[in-house]
Structure 1
């Protein structure tokens, strides 16, 4: 048991470091190729920050444990909003002024509802996986157009302009990209191996481990990046990182998992977990909607998000251990 915990901690550490290097390398290569920083942020960085979840999904599915991948995707989305966004708002109230980000919010809601519709028959087939991956391509194209058409004064554009690495040679960027990818793969393998053994030790399903332990672990990179962004006053980047990650978690993580290994969904996914995820998404949409000319998430709302997330996680743990 102790060895499995060490595996999880080591895998998590490698995922966090590998994700940072993967984002750095990918973003630097794109910038060297002349891609606009906002476009890099909306597409490449959004996918790269979801790399831990995607790699965990691939490794788990190849090992014949797709339930872990599904639980990770659903749990990560709930953790990103309840835990990560709640912690950011508690640390510093968030102001939403980016038009680009407001366009992304309905996209996240639409993707969440698409996922729910595919879950309703309690089975994810390869066709469902291909539908999600096709939707991923459509969203990528749409985000590209949004990035091109965005206003020059959009705060989110300035945030990405300041954060996307520049003056990095193509060779150095490519090396960091490959090092980051290799580290992610190794870290994902360790984390999945440890998580599966912990699930077996406590006699709980891989979905529960994915929704709790693995989801929190793979959401830590988003927490770190978003907290730093909020500290710098880059609120659009802080929330945009969460929204983009949640979109790609559903489309890429679940899409890849279902395409590799179709699976029957446990009853708890439909009766509880997917609806909690949608509820968090609706709350985020309501909090960031402009009622009086500005969107804002204050400290009290951040505290409510954190309390709701820990209440949900506590309920899941109590019911399954």
Structure 2
């Protein structure tokens, strides 16, 4: 099917465009003397969410609200059910106490707020401003906490690597701009072909948004978490997922709603959004035990399979 090929091409462009944007922005920021810690918590975190942002923004501006919201909801569910499930099967995931005390409660709070906002049928500009304000507060909190908690100064050699003095800023600015352009083009191709694919298959745009597109835009998180699990850096795997879910809710929904209010169908508000909330709270009892083993990972994967079947057969 031509539409499916178009969606896949769009997702590939999103993947590479996001990588170029993050790499260019990170190296440029470091060459300007900005702390790698701050870069990681802001530029990189926002950059890895750029595919979801561009897709949701493009969908909202073109009137495809179900794709805009479904992308965010589906990505958050895929992050927990699919990505953590696969990562935990590769290597058991240990949960850092700071993640349990800080990021996970924030993710749960953001999920609850988003679901409440869904219930009146629209994420308006005021809702968007509230979410963006929450994003700014979250980033500020994380930067301050990280700077306060960092007790050991980095090795001079490592500091030199993280603050390259020989970076060609013009090259990095061009890389950043190219990444942004490729992202925008990829988003347009993805949304346009996804809409046509939904029509040709006789399914709703919501189904395409919460399955195919959400998995595609979550590829950076999937790759990062699998590499982290293979390297036995399991704290990175779960931190990546939790951070991505927070940014999806606060940054993507917030920025998109500020640009253009997003209509939320009763089906999303009463179905998929509540499932997203359920997946978020499903994480809680397992992380309290501080380890996500293979048994827990299989539960997550099974839950994601059930969700996908529901989305395709019932929601579609």
Per the normalisation by structure 1, the TM-score is 0.89
Deviation at 1:98, TM superposition (A): 5.8
Residue 201 (structure 1) shift? 1.7
- Counterpart of 1:196 in structure 2 is 195
User: Which residue does the alignment assign to 2:219?
Assistant: 220
Q: Deviations over 1:206-245 (max 9, x none)?
A: 2222111111111111101111122222222222221111
Counterpart Cα distance in 1 of 2:299 and 2:119? 29
Contact 2:65 2:264 (8 Å CA) reproduced? no
Relative to 1, partners in 2 of residues 1:35 and 1:135: Cα closer, same or farther, differing over 3 Å?
A: same
Q: CA RMSD, aligned part only?
A: 2.3
CA shift at 1:165, angstroms? 5.8
Name the residue aligned to 2:10: 11
Closer, same or farther in 2 for the Cα pair 1:171/1:100, shift >3 Å? farther
> Retained in 2: the 8 A contact 1:57–1:256?
no
State whether residues 36 and 162 of structure 2, in contact with CA within 8 Å, keep that contact through their aligned partners in structure 1.
Answer: no
**Distance of 1:77 and 1:107 partners within structure 2:** 14
1:7-61 CA deviation, whole Å, 9 max, x = no partner?
1111111111111121212222222233333332222211111110000011111
Distance 1:222 1:106 in 2: 20
Corresponding position of 2:306 = 311
Q: Offset at 1:166?
A: 5.3
Unaligned runs of 5+ in 2: none
> 3-state DSSP class of the match of 1:121?
coil
Distance 1:61 1:165, change over 3 A: farther
- CA, structure 1 residues 186+113, in 2 after alignment: closer, same or farther (shift >3 Å)? same
Change (3 A) 1:239 1:228: same
- What is the CA distance between 1:320 and its match in structure 2? 4.2
2:218 counterpart SS class: helix
Moved over 4 A (4+): none
Match of residue 112 from structure 1 = 111
> Which residue pairs with 1:300 in the alignment?
295
